[in-house]
Structure 1
Amino acid sequence: MSDMWTGEKVRLRGVEPQDWEGFQDLARNTLDVRNAGLVTPPRSAEGFRAWTAERAGRPPGGEAFRLVVESLADRAFAGSVTVGETDSRAGRFRMGIGISRAYRRRGYAAEAAGLLLTYMFEEQRYHKCEVEVHAFNDASIALHRGLGFVEEGRLRQHEFFAGGHHDVVVLGITAAEHWAVHPRPPLR
């Protein structure tokens, strides 16, 4: 049996209520939060439990969704991937990924992103994926370039945090570019 959600190192799965501690861990480091988005005031443990429980109760799929990246080695929460800002008419979507510090530099982000891209291109008929990365986030830019993403532009002084305005790099990959690097999954 083949499972399109499982790679050699990670499995993508739905959010479970008990994942709240993993999401809380992702939000602990200010630099990590800044790399992924905007710094917000701390959320309580109960706030993380409620937020995670609400996401766990959502139906699977849809226009925007979040999946947990689970390490196959220890069956632990290793991060999450998201799909958002979908445009079914144009065939575009946006993707985001966050990996817990303890699981970085193991290829988990690349494998999780590859699994998600395969699903979106192969099963949902999307044509293109876009990501926005802060220009100072060299690791994320390198990850996406390694996956086959191409830099499409730069939004100058686009975001404000840490006392200043910062550029955002826009990268994209088409289905054809993805298939040039990743083999299509077998039909059986």
Structure 2
Amino acid sequence: MTSAWVGELVRLRGVEPEDWEAFHRFDGNTGDMRRMDRIHPPRSAAAQQEWARTTALKKPEDDVLFLAVESLADGALAGMVTTGETDHRAGRFSYGIAIGTGHKGRGYATEAVRLLLAFMFGERRFHKCEASVWGFNDPSIALHRKLGFTEEGRLRDHEFFAGRHHDVVLFGLTAPEFAARHPHPREI
């Protein structure tokens, strides 16, 4: 038996309450936080435990997903992948990926995004995925190009953090573009 959520390197799964410690470590790394979003105030262990418990019990609504990225090599929580801004009328959604520093450079992000996109395009019938990347995040820009995303624009000096303004690079990928690079499996 195979699973649409398992690749050769990672498994996408729901967040479990015991994941709180790994997410707490990710939140303690300024570089990890900044690459994913921005720096947030520190969260207590109790608050992180409550977040993980609540997230683990929350049912996905409107195709908004929050999934843990687990390494198949050692079962460790390597990061997370999320969807958001779903627009069923237009057939588009956005997504985000974050892989912790200790797990970078192993192909986890590439495989996690492929698994997520295969589901959103092949099962949920979305037509386009959109992504925003900080202009200084060269590894993420390279990841999106490798996956077949097209740079659709740049918002200059759009976000402020670390004492200055930063560009945001906008990427898009359609279902046909994804399918041309990553054909859907023929399993039924």
Runs (5+) with no aligned partner, structure 2 = none
* 1:11 to 2:11 alignment: yes
Report the 3-state secondary structure (helix = DSSP H, G, I; strand = E; otherwise coil) of the residue aligned with 1:121: helix
Aligned to 1:123: 123
CA distance in 1, matches of 2:184, 2:41: 43
After TM superposition, what 4+ stretches of structure 1 lie above 2 angstroms from structure 2?
A: 60-63
Measure how far apart 1:33 and its partner are. Answer: 1.1
CA distance in 1, matches of 2:114, 2:61: 17
CA distance in 2, matches of 1:32, 1:99: 8
Q: How many residues align?
A: 188
Q: What is the identity, as a one-letter code, of the residue corresponding to 2:81?
A: V
CA distance in 2, matches of 1:185, 1:94: 23
Measure how far apart 1:61 and its partner are. Answer: 5.5
Residue identity over aligned pairs, in percent, reads 57
Contact in 2 for aligned 1:14/1:60 (Cα 8 Å)? no
Q: CA RMSD in A?
A: 1.0
Aligned to 1:36: 36
Runs (5+) with no aligned partner, structure 1 = none
Contact in 1 for aligned 2:32/2:100 (Cα 8 Å)? no
Contact in 2 for aligned 1:26/1:98 (Cα 8 Å)? no
* 1:93 to 2:93 alignment: yes
Could you state the TM-score of these two structures normalised by the residue count of structure 2? 0.97
Could you state the TM-score of these two structures normalised by the residue count of structure 1? 0.97
Contact in 2 for aligned 1:66/1:83 (Cα 8 Å)? yes
After TM superposition, list the pairs within 5 Å mapping 1:71-82 onto structure 2: 71-82=71-82
Residues 103-155 of structure 1: CA deviation (Å, up to 9, x unaligned): 11000000000000000000000000000000000011101111001100001
Report the 3-state secondary structure (helix = DSSP H, G, I; strand = E; otherwise coil) of the residue aligned with 2:90: coil
CA distance in 2, matches of 1:146, 1:104: 16
After TM superposition, list the pairs within 5 Å mapping 1:169-188 onto structure 2: 169-188=169-188
